[in-house]
Structure 1
C-alpha cells in the first residue's frame, strides 16, 4: 500500500506540474482552456471553475490540458437546425439549445438556422416562428447546450490556432519546462531539509549491521585511501565502493589525527533494473545553508539532465537497448525499492523522473511536445502552417507507435519482474 501511494503521489505531482505549465502559458496567451485533467480514461471527479473544468481521471498514467480550437473542438450550427435561444435585455444571445426537447425550457426564442458564425462575427440568423428572417448577435461567453451538455463557445481570438507561433510554442514548451522547474525545487528542498553534501570523504553516519559498522568505522572518520588508491572527495569514495560489489577491500582512514586501516567486505546490491553495485552503509557530510541548497538544486538538475542525455545517446548508438527501458511496471517496482530507502531517496527519484519526463516530451517525435514544437519550427521557416489534417495524421501515427512501444516495454517489465 505504501508503494502504491508513493507511486500515485509521484506520478500525480509530475503530471500536475507538466500540465500546469501548459495551462499557465496558455492562459497568459489568452487561449481558452476547456479542461485540466490529471490521469487518463474515465472521469471520476470534475469541478468547473470559470471556463475550465478540472477533472481527475481513473488511470494515473498521464494527463492533458484541452485548449479551445484543438481536436475538432468547435461546434457548428448547420442550416436547417432548429434551436432555442435565450437572449438578454439587449437581444444578445446568451444560450443556444439544440438536439433536445426545447419545449421543456421556458422563455425560448425558436429559430430555424439559415446562417451562423460562432467564432469570428458571432451571429446567428434564421427564421422565427412567424417565418420572419431575423438575426441575433451572439455573446462572447454564449453557452451551447447540446443534449443537455453545456459548452462555452470559443471566439476565434481565444483559440489555440489564432495565436502567434511564439505563443503556441511557449504554451507547449512550458509543460516540459515545468518538469525541470519541479526537479530543481525538489533538489532545493532536499538541500534545505537534509543538508548539502560537502564532497569531503568524511563519514557522518554509519548504518548498523552494514559492512562499515561491522568493521568498526565511526562517525567523523576521514577516508584517505581504498586498496592503496587515494581518496580525495566523497565522489571518489562512492565511485570506488560501487565498483567493488562483493569484494573485500582495505580502507585507510584518519581518526583523531591517527591513521588506521580496516578490511571489510562490500555489500552487493542489485537494483530493479538488474544492475549490481557496492555499498558499505555510510553517509556523507552535509551542511544546512539556504544559498548552498539553491546552488545544489541547480547542480543536481544539470547533472541529472546531462546523464539522461548520455543514456539517450547510448540508446541511439546501441549501448543501451530497448530491453533496458522501463514502463509503468518497472517504475512501480523501482518505487517499491526506493520507498524502503527513505523520504529523501524518494524525493531524489521523483526529481529524476521529472527531468526524464521533461526530456522525453521534448524529443522531436510525433504526438510528443517536441514533435509539435518541430511543426511550429516548420511554420516559422515557411511563413505558413503545415496542413492541419496532415499534421494531425502524423501525430495520430505517432500516438499509435508510442502505444505499441508502451505495450512492448510493459511486457518486458512483466517478464523481468514476475517470470
Structure 2
C-alpha cells in the first residue's frame, strides 16, 4: 500500500506542475481569441482524450511534458482544394460541416465540386452542383470531417500569428508564470506546515567516539552560542567557528530541558585540517505568523532561484559531466524518495520542481518558451515578423536536440538504477 501511495504521489506531482504550465498557455491564448486545438499532457501515442468546446484534451504516453497546440503556430491542417468533390451541410443557409470522404453516406448534405474556397479570410465556398454554381458562406466554427476526425476551421483572426506582439508574448510567458505562482503558493503552504526555524538542535551524533559524544552533547540539545557568538539558525557559521579551532577547546552554550549550561568541546581535524566535532543538525521551529509566511516563502523562492541558476551556470561552464545529469527517471526516483518522507517535504520539493520548470522554459533555447519569446521580441524590434519557416526550422532543430539529450540522460538514469547507484 505504501508503494502504491508513493507512485500515485509521484505521478500527481508531475501531473500538477505540467498541467498548470500548459493551462497558463491555454488560458491566455483563449483570452486573446486564439483557437486552441489541443491541450496535451505528455507526448507520443494518445492514451485518453475528450473534447470540450473547441479544444481536444489529451493524455499521451510519454510523461515528459506537454503542449498547447494553437491555430496558426504550424501550417494549418485543414485543406479543401479546388476541383475536389465534397459534401456540405447547411444550417440557416450557412455551411457548418464540410465532408471530404464517404460522401454517399452523408445524409442531408449537398454534394458538389469545389470551384473556389477560402477557409481563413472570406469564409466562403463555391460549388459546382450538377452544372449550377452555388455560393455559400462558411460559419467561422465550421467543422471539416475526414477519416472519422472532426477539425474546426481557423479564420485568420483566430490564428496565433494574427494577434498583437503583447498578446502572443503573454500567451507564451503565461506557462512559466503559472509555474512561478504555483511554486510561491506551495512555499506558503510548506511554511505553514513546517513552521519557522528558530534554533539549531543537535539532530544526531553518528559516532559515539566523536568529540561531541565525548563532551556529553546529546540529541535534542539547543545550540545557543559558540565561543560566545550567538548562532541563531546559522549552522554554517557554527561550522566555520569549529573549523577554525582544530585541536582547541570550543565553548558551546546549550539549553537542555530548559536549563542552560556550557560544554567545552575540542574539535579534531579532518583530512583538510578543519576542525570537526561530529554533530548533524536539526532545527527547532515555531508557527509562522501571516506576514512571516509570505516573507519566508519569498526568501525560499529567492534562495531556490539562486541555487537553480548556480546549477545552470555550472552546466554551461562544464563543471557538470553528462553522466552527472539526471533526466525524468532520476527526477521521478528522487520525487518518490521524498514522497516517502511525508507531505511536508513533498510540498517543498514540488515547489522547487515547479520553479525549476518555469525557469528552464524561459531559457533562450530553441523549442522552449524562452526562444519563442525571443523571436517575438525580435519581431517587436524589427517591426516585422520573422520568416515563419525559418523560425519553425529553428524550433524543430531545438526540439530534436532536447529529445536527444533527454534520451541520453534517461539512458544514464536507467544505468544508475541497474547498477544500484
Normalised to the residue count of structure 2, the TM-score between the two structures is 0.85
CA deviation after TM superposition for structure 1 residue 337, in Å: 2.7
Unaligned runs of 5+ in 1: 266-277
- Kindly report structure 1 stretches of 4+ aligned residues shifted beyond 4 Å: 205-215, 247-251, 262-265
CA deviation after TM superposition for structure 1 residue 400, in Å: 1.3
Judge conservation of contact 2:200–2:282 (CA < 8 Å) in 1: no
CA deviation after TM superposition for structure 1 residue 27, in Å: 1.0
Tell me the equivalent position of 2:274: none
1:210–1:87 CA distance, 2 compared to 1 (3 A): farther
Compare 328-337 and 131-140 and name the one that shifted more: 328-337
1:69 alignment partner, SS class: coil
CA deviation after TM superposition for structure 1 residue 233, in Å: 2.6
CA deviation after TM superposition for structure 1 residue 290, in Å: 2.6
CA deviation after TM superposition for structure 1 residue 152, in Å: 1.3
Total equivalences in the alignment: 396
1:284 alignment partner, SS class: strand
**In structure 1, what is the Cα distance between the partners aligned to 2:395 and 2:279?**
45
Kindly indicate whether residue 135 of structure 2 is the aligned counterpart of residue 162 of structure 1: no
Tell me the equivalent position of 2:199: 201
1:137 alignment partner, SS class: strand
Tell me the equivalent position of 2:262: 260
CA deviation after TM superposition for structure 1 residue 109, in Å: 0.8
What are the equivalent positions in structure 2 for 1:5-44 lying under 5 Å apart?
5-44=8-47
1:134 alignment partner, SS class: strand
CA deviation after TM superposition for structure 1 residue 288, in Å: 3.0
Kindly indicate whether residue 110 of structure 2 is the aligned counterpart of residue 96 of structure 1: no
1:279–1:207 CA distance, 2 compared to 1 (3 A): closer
Tell me the equivalent position of 1:307: 307
Judge conservation of contact 1:366–1:399 (CA < 8 Å) in 2: yes
CA deviation after TM superposition for structure 1 residue 202, in Å: 4.7
CA deviation after TM superposition for structure 1 residue 339, in Å: 2.3
Tell me the equivalent position of 1:357: 357
Tell me the equivalent position of 1:108: 109
Normalised to the residue count of structure 1, the TM-score between the two structures is 0.86
Judge conservation of contact 2:206–2:279 (CA < 8 Å) in 1: no
1:86 alignment partner, SS class: strand
- Cα offsets for 1:166-213 (capped at 9, x unmatched): 11111111111111111101000112223233xx3254x968999899
Unaligned runs of 5+ in 2: 268-277
